[in-house]
């Protein structure tokens, strides 16, 4: 629980820092570059075989591809929608996708509490968007939904890779090492040359380094928790970061309406029910 709650706080914090950057879609390249460097340092003390089976390597690579999709969609949603709204839709949507897969594919138990939790998450997300968001905010919500699919996918891939015996440092470094060049190539296509991309990435270097270190802490703690916990339960408890994100958004001057706050509360209640210990 301590690992996951700490991961949740650091995750919301690095997302909030990314939101403060003038161009989150370019800044995320710098953040992940710092994170890959930190991951390499973490993996220096690794002993034994990093990828003991072909499946171990395959799931690690799949996680990296889905990580890149998550980071692209995350940055686009944060650029267009408030932090609290985008974050709640992304994390809540990921929950709705992960639990059926965890039950059917990874053997996690389905209980009345988990069914009620899934219903609360769905109701909360629907309540937050009873009126279709307009303009850029509506686009941000759509990107957040795409981010939810990627979050669910890379968490399931993480769990399968760990189940094949991949040590967390190796999984972390390889998956983000795969994600980084994909991010760079995607941003390069949308910028007017390498120089323009580099200038945007380096606009606020201290913010990027700080966010990169926090991102490293978030994902490394998550992987260590996944070694001992089910994917659905760990991802559910980690979604307490929704509360942290709402608080950080308020500190940045964001204001959510009553309906959206009630919806976010339902999402957090659903997360608690989904993660409630099984007898």
Mean pLDDT of the chain: 80
Helices (H), the chain: 2-20, 24-43, 54-80, 83-105, 112-128, 135-163, 168-190, 194-201, 205-228, 231-238, 241-251, 258-274
* φ/ψ (deg, to 5) at 223: -65, -40
Taking a C-beta distance cutoff of 8 angstroms, is the pair 93, 144 a contact? yes
Coil vs helix vs strand at 204: coil
Query: What does the pLDDT read at residue 50?
Result: 84
Residue 54 has pLDDT above 60, yes or no: yes
| 140, two tokens | 């941000």
Query: Does residue 127 or residue 279 have the better pLDDT?
Result: 127
Coil vs helix vs strand at 219: helix
Q: Which of 83-87, 129-133, 273-277 has the lowest mean pLDDT?
A: 129-133
Distance CA 81, CA 242 (A): 15
Distance CA 52, CA 49 (A): 6
Kindly state the average pLDDT of the residues 253-257: 69
Query: What does the pLDDT read at residue 134?
Result: 65
Distance CA 177, CA 94 (A): 23
User: What are 59-97's pLDDT values in tens digits?
Assistant: 999 999 999 999 889 888 888 888 777 877 887 788 778
Helix axes 54-80, 135-163, angle to 10 degrees: 160
Query: Does residue 269 or residue 147 have the better pLDDT?
Result: 147
Q: How confident is the model at residue 49 (pLDDT cuts 50, 70, 90)?
A: confident
Residue 35 has pLDDT above 80, yes or no: yes
Taking a C-beta distance cutoff of 8 angstroms, is the pair 161, 56 a contact? yes
Query: What does the pLDDT read at residue 65?
Result: 93
Cα-based distances in Å from 216 to 129, 184, 210, 219, 273: 32, 19, 10, 5, 28
Query: What does the pLDDT read at residue 233?
Result: 64
Burial degree of 234 (CB within 10 A; 0-12, 13-18, 19+): buried
| 74, two tokens | 């995350």
Distance CA 275, CA 256 (A): 26
Residue 34 has pLDDT above 60, yes or no: yes
* φ/ψ (deg, to 5) at 222: -60, -45
User: What are 163-177's pLDDT values in tens digits?
Assistant: 898 998 899 899 999
List the domain boundaries for the chain.
2-274
């Amino acid at each position: 629980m301590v690992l996951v709650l700490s991961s949740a706080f650091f995750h919301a914090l690095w997302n909030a820092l990314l939101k403060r950057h003038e161009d989150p879609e370019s800044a995320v390249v710098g953040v992940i570059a710092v994170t890959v460097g930190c991951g390499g340092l973490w993996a220096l003390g690794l002993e034994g075989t990093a990828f003991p089976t072909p499946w171990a390597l395959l799931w690690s690579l799949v996680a990296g591809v889905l990580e890149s999709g998550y980071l692209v969609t995350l940055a686009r949603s944060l650029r267009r929608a408030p932090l609290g709204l985008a974050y709640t839709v992304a994390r809540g949507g990921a929950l709705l996708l992960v639990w059926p897969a965890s039950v059917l594919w990874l053997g996690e138990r389905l209980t009345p509490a988990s069914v009620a939790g899934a219903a609360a998450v769905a109701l909360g997300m629907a309540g937050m968007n009873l009126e279709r968001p307009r303009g850029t905010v509506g686009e941000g919500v759509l990107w957040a939904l795409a981010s939810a699919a990627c979050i669910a996918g890379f968490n399931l891939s993480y769990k399968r890779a760990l189940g094949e015996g991949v040590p967390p440092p190796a999984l972390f470094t390889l998956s983000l090492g795969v994600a980084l060049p994909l991010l760079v190539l995607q941003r390069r296509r949308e910028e007017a040359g390498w120089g323009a991309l580099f200038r945007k990435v380096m606009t606020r270097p201290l913010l990027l380094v700080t966010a990169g270190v926090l991102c490293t802490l978030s994902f490394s703690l998550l992987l260590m928790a996944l070694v001992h916990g089910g994917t659905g339960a760990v991802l559910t408890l980690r979604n307490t970061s929704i509360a942290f994100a709402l608080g950080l958004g308020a500190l940045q001057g964001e204001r959510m309406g009553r309906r959206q706050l009630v919806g976010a509360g339902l999402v957090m209640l659903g997360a608690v029910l989904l993660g409630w210990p099984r007898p």
